[in-house]
Amino acid sequence: MRTACLPQKPQELADNLQSHTLHKRFGSRTANPSPPNWSYLVRNCISRGSPKEALLIYTQIRCKGICNLGVVPLILKACASIHSIKCGKALHAESIKCGMDFDVLVGTSLIDMYAKCREIVDSRKLFDLLPQRNVVTWNAMIGGYLRNGDVESASFLFERMSTRTAVTWIEMIDGFARNGDTITARRLFNQVPNKFKNVVTWTVMVDGYCSNGEMEAAREVFEQMPERNFFAWSSMISGYCKMGDVKEAEILFDRIPVRNLVNWNSMLSGYAQNGFGEEAVKAFGKMQAEGFEPDEFTVVSVLSACAQSGLLNVGREIHSMINCKGIKCSQIVLNAVLDMYAKCGDLTNARLVFEGMAERNTACWNAMISGFAIHGQCKEALELFSTMERSNVRPDDITFLSVLSACAHGGFEDEGIEIFSKIEKYDLVASIKHYGCLVDLLGRSGRLKEAYKVIKKMPMKPNEMVWGAMLGACRIHFDMQMTEQVVKEISNQNSDMELVDNSHYVLLSNIYAASDKWEKAERMRLDMLNESFQKIPGCSSYMPSNT
């Protein structure tokens, strides 16, 4: 069964149209047209999603002294896909030396590259200097503005276009929707000439509503579609799953007349996102029974489901299948395998996967550190964090949550305080979860006054989790004076209720009972009964998720 591909974005369609004519346009200017066919090799790398390989091939071309200008727009596309502005500027300089920067194809590719690399000012300079522009050039500039959030400049150019195509309208509708303005997107959709209102135009409008969580409006447009492609179905399924309405997503999935792999991937991802691990595994089996071969997106979703549900044996089978079927072990796949092993407690295999990675991004470091922290190997988590700091990968919010949690559970209070102080060093802002971890850390170690000071100095209002961590520390250390102070603070903060939630009633009752304050303990229990509260099972509040 052939693996289904997502429909091409408007600019990708234009890029492919350009690359189709490259050989014809540049063939006569190529100094060495002999085999291998460099344009074909580069284009093949890009189509396989391997832009870095395309850049390596171009490096080989230049090292051999071959001047193949036909591959320049393709290499610029590769630079844009990985946001390599340095390489893109080098190609721009090379184009100027060869006198090709004013060619409409090269110029359009440069405009697109600069825009996708967030250099929109340089992109507009090239647009204004280009002596000849076609509709693809205008579309590239408009698309660039929209990707960078400048809807006013995009609208300005749109109004001044002498010729518009279906791609122009699609860029505008998709761009406004991606910037959260579905009202303008819908107005533009209603203005699309009938000759340009095709299945892609309808799908972009549906996807725009889905991306913004406006499922009623999306459903209205979806049901009006004269015909539907697989991407429209997948957008609706993903939209409902993002809203947590898995049941409605299943109903739509069952309505699809002919399913493809993208539809299955949307449903599997939806199950995983909403914690339906077993349903995801069952759907995965059914998908294979219907003859669909999984791709990297499939296995990432199923591995995520296994990680959430603790299905280690299933996860191991998926890992083995990846190797047997030759599924591309991209960074996201390896991260998913690592995360599955780490969350399921198989830290030996998790470490093997981690050590075997050629490249490590923040996500895989986080998965490994979090795995150590979750399963009580707090010292190992701290050591790995130190190794990460020495590498060229910067920690993020999740990294600090994982390490601070490890410090709290492992009793490393001094290390935790030092790590908390490093958050600003990496240009990050401590969230209420980070402060909650610090309060938990200080509270567990008996430094209740310091924990209380942290709460009072927090730049945001403390929530029930922070107060819960503080009360839990009071219970552990039988500090009645601090307990009374915390209760007073909670009451002042929440004038409409005595305590934040029922778990605090339970904690206070236990604290009073442990301190032989039986009268107050009984009063807390009576308050719980009067409020019809039910005790909620306890869980760790600050252990972050890497999915």
- Each residue's pLDDT tens digit, 147-177: 999 999 999 999 999 999 999 999 999 999 9
The pLDDT mean for the chain works out to: 84
Of 124-128, 440-444, 483-487, 535-539, which gets the smallest average pLDDT? Answer: 535-539
Whether 9 is in a domain gets the answer yes
In the chain, what is the greatest distance between 2 CA atoms, to the nearest angstrom?
Answer: 96
Instruction: Tell me which of 200 and 10 has the higher pLDDT.
Output: 200
Whether 517 is in a domain gets the answer no
Burial class (CB in 10 A: 0-12, 13-18, 19+), 325: exposed
Q: How far apart are CA 471 and CA 499, in angstroms?
A: 11
Q: What is the pLDDT of residue 55?
A: 86
What's the pLDDT band for 511 if we cut at 50, 70, 90?
A: low
Q: How far apart are CA 493 and CA 472, in angstroms?
A: 19
User: How confident is the model over 309-336, as a mean pLDDT?
Assistant: 93
User: How confident is the model over 102-114, as a mean pLDDT?
Assistant: 92
What's the pLDDT band for 101 if we cut at 50, 70, 90?
A: confident
CATH of the domain at 106: 1.25.40
Q: What is the pLDDT of residue 528?
A: 44
Q: What is the pLDDT of residue 167?
A: 95
Q: How far apart are CA 119 and CA 103, in angstroms?
A: 20
User: How confident is the model over 71-89, as a mean pLDDT?
Assistant: 90
Range of the domain at 51: 1-163
Q: pLDDT > 70: what percent of the chain?
A: 82
Whether 344 is in a domain gets the answer no
Q: How far apart are CA 254 and CA 247, in angstroms?
A: 11
Decide if 203 contacts 7 (C-beta within 8 A).
yes
User: How confident is the model over 493-509, as a mean pLDDT?
Assistant: 51
Whether 300 is in a domain gets the answer no
pLDDT at 525 over 80: no
Q: What is the pLDDT of residue 496?
A: 44
Whether 297 is in a domain gets the answer no
User: How confident is the model over 372-397, as a mean pLDDT?
Assistant: 94
In three-state form (DSSP H/G/I as H, E/B as E, the rest C), the secondary structure along 142-199 is HHHHHHCCCHHHHHHHHHHCCCCCHHHHHHHHHHHHHCCCHHHHHHHHHHCCHHHCCH
Decide if 384 contacts 355 (C-beta within 8 A).
no
Whether 151 is in a domain gets the answer yes
What's the pLDDT band for 30 if we cut at 50, 70, 90?
A: very low
Whether 28 is in a domain gets the answer yes
pLDDT at 6 over 50: no
Q: How far apart are CA 82 and CA 88, in angstroms?
A: 10
User: How confident is the model over 267-276, as a mean pLDDT?
Assistant: 96
Q: What is the CA radius of gyration of the chain?
A: 28
Of 136-145, 327-336, 472-481, 514-523, which gets the smallest average pLDDT? Answer: 514-523
Find, among 222, 213, 224, 343, the residue nearest to 272 by Cα. Answer: 343
pTM of the model: 0.77
What's the pLDDT band for 53 if we cut at 50, 70, 90?
A: confident
Q: How far apart are CA 6 and CA 295, in angstroms?
A: 13
Whether 384 is in a domain gets the answer no
Q: What is the pLDDT of residue 99?
A: 77
In the block, residue with structure tokens 């939630």:
501
Those residues whose C-beta lies under 8 Å from the C-beta of residue 91, and which sit 6 or more positions away, are 72, 75, 76, 79, 110
User: How confident is the model over 65-87, as a mean pLDDT?
Assistant: 82
* Tokens representing residue 253 in the block: 């999935």
pLDDT at 202 over 60: yes
Number of domains observed in the structure of the chain: 1
What's the pLDDT band for 212 if we cut at 50, 70, 90?
A: very high
pLDDT at 321 over 80: yes
Instruction: Tell me which of 276 and 496 has the higher pLDDT.
Output: 276
pLDDT at 2 over 60: no
Q: What is the pLDDT of residue 8?
A: 39
Alpha helices in 310-412 (DSSP H): 312-325, 331-343, 347-355, 362-374, 378-390, 397-410
